[in-house]
Amino acid sequence: MADNGNDKSGLYSLSGFAYQIKVFFYYVMLLKDEYSSIEFESLDDIAIKNIEKFDNYDTTFISKIENENTSYQIIQVKYTKITEKKTKDLMLRWMLALKNHYNIKKFMLFTDEKYSNENFINEISAKELYRYAINSKKEKSNSIKSKIKILFFSKGTYRDFYKLLKKIKDSVYFISNNEIDDSIKSVASNHFKRNAVPEVIYCARLVSALKDITHNIMENVLLGKSYSINLAELNKIEEKIIQDTNETMPIPLTYAEFKKVNSIDIDSYTNKREYKQLQHCELPLTGIKRNLQQCCYYVDFRHRILAMGNPEKIANIELQSYENFERVQETLAYNNNDTPRNRLDETQKLRNEIVSTPELSLGTYIYLTKEKEIIGENQISWKDDDE
């Protein structure tokens, strides 16, 4: 049975967001002791109410070491081409951060190697950056540049500006990485017992951990809060995942958790067969989106099972759903009431007994309405293509 690599939705479609989360996850795996924590937050204190808008904003991680000399590391992730202007804006943000938190010991700019980004930080002089900030016009009162003006516009403050920038340049690190997945696999090895289980089990554990942390981040971000995790909290996540994710099967998020972090962009579905088939059923938009959401939930579950090396389980699930549909179609034809809506409603009343939740059962039926190149012989149609 063919599998479609393009079935990933929600957070997977937010490439920049997904990359930021992976980098955050990488640094979470580097937590070493009870004094350390790492925090994920929006750099500009923007209240983001829609996950689809998250990709448009910068985020920063604050790695905090709490001991007798509490210190911080600022880790900025950029999954884009970094221009000189963007570098200047970033440096001004860092200056504000350092002004508010004098004990920041390290500034890190983390970027993907595919963008071939240059490190402009040390090339930008204090005078150039000062003019860039001070000479700007029509800035909002709460903008970075406006805040810089308030702090450094008066006479005699340029020296303070210069000293602050020098401190940043003396403690900045530019990281270009093109193998973040491999880096995660390497540093997470001890956390998720890589040497004690088959590689597919280890990878499934990483997927589960990444999903859990993504869910926690989004719960906080959508409330306008930052998300912080320490080693004790990480250990709790590890224990649950190691217990749940074994040779039997990896445990996915609950449907409610999945729905929070995986939104449906209906515009991306309008040319897909599963969307067109639901349209034939004369469902309202809310009904179409709900069915597509359940389909995505099953796709996520499907990926996990396949990652475990268990294609037979998937084959059995999808065969049972297809045969349920066949029985419904035969009954409707016999009773002369075979319509697209009746096919959908009556089929979804039949629970697929192999999967553990109603949403997975419902999602299998929608998944099987995808193109035949993806599904194979088990394709479902609410309305036959030749009608």
Mapping DSSP onto H, E and C, the string for the chain reads: CCCCHHHCCHHHCCHHHHHHHHHHHHHHCCCCCCCEEEEEEECCCCCCCCHHHHHHCCEEEEEEECCCCCEEEEEEEECCCCCHHHHHHHHHHHHHHHHHCCCEEEEEEEEEHHHCCCCCHHHCCHHHHHHHHHCCCCCCCCCHHHHHHHHHCCCCCHHHHHHHHHHHHCCEEEEEECCHHHHHHHHCCCCCCHHHCCHHHHHHHHHHHHHHHHHHHHHHHCCCCCEEEEHHHHHHHHHHHHHHCCCCCCCCCCHHHHHHHCCCCHHHCCCCHHHHHHHHCCCCHHHHHHHHHHHHHHHHHHHHHHHCCCHHHHHHHHHHHHHHHHHHHHHHHHCCCCCHHHHHHHHHCCCCCCCCCHHHHHHHHHHCCCCHHHHHHHCCCCCCCCC
Contact status, residue 327 vs residue 317, Cβ threshold 8 Å: no
Between the alpha carbon of residue 181 and those of residues 32, 186, 191, 193, the distances in Å are: 20, 9, 16, 17
Domain boundary among 149, 171, 188: 188
> What does the pLDDT profile of the chain (387 residues) look like in tens digits?
333 333 333 333 345 677 888 889 999 999 888 888 888 875 443 333 333 444 444 555 666 655 556 788 888 888 888 889 989 988 998 998 888 877 888 888 888 888 888 888 989 999 999 999 888 777 777 788 888 888 887 766 888 899 999 999 999 999 988 888 889 999 999 999 999 888 878 888 888 888 888 878 877 776 778 888 999 999 999 998 887 777 665 555 688 888 877 788 898 899 999 999 999 999 999 999 999 999 999 988 887 777 666 788 999 999 999 999 999 999 999 999 999 999 999 999 999 999 989 999 999 999 999 998 888 899 999 999 876
Query: Tokens for 97?
Result: 């951060």
Residue 201 covered by a domain = no
Cα 296 to its chain centre, rounded Å, is 14
Residue 214 covered by a domain = no
Task: Say if residue 146 is in the same domain as residue 275.
Answer: no
Domain boundary among 188, 206, 238: 188
Domain range for 133 is 5-188
Domain boundary among 165, 188, 211: 188
Task: Say if residue 176 is in the same domain as residue 282.
Answer: no
pLDDT of residue 205: 86
Task: Say if residue 182 is in the same domain as residue 314.
Answer: no
This prediction has a pTM of 0.61
Task: Say if residue 126 is in the same domain as residue 17.
Answer: yes
Cα 353 to its chain centre, rounded Å, is 31
pLDDT of residue 55: 44
Residue 368 covered by a domain = yes
Q: From CA 157, how far away is CA 232, in angstroms rounded?
A: 43
Query: Tokens for 342?
Result: 């009746």
Task: Say if residue 164 is in the same domain as residue 25.
Answer: yes
Task: Say if residue 44 is in the same domain as residue 147.
Answer: yes
Instruction: State the maximum Cα–Cα separation within the chain, in Å, rounded to a whole number.
Output: 90
Contact status, residue 269 vs residue 10, Cβ threshold 8 Å: no
Residue 152 covered by a domain = yes
pLDDT of residue 252: 58
How many beta carbons lie within 10 A of that of residue 330, not counting itself? 11
Q: From CA 164, how far away is CA 179, in angstroms rounded?
A: 33
Task: Say if residue 162 is in the same domain as residue 56.
Answer: yes
Task: Say if residue 155 is in the same domain as residue 271.
Answer: no
Residue 237 covered by a domain = no
Degrees (nearest 5) of the Cα angle 160, 164, 169? Answer: 145
Contact status, residue 91 vs residue 129, Cβ threshold 8 Å: yes
Structural domain total, the chain: 2
Task: Say if residue 166 is in the same domain as residue 273.
Answer: no
Contact status, residue 2 vs residue 375, Cβ threshold 8 Å: yes
| Tokens 């035969």 found at | 330
Is the alpha carbon torsion for 347, 348, 349, 350 positive or negative? positive
Q: From CA 71, how far away is CA 353, in angstroms rounded?
A: 54
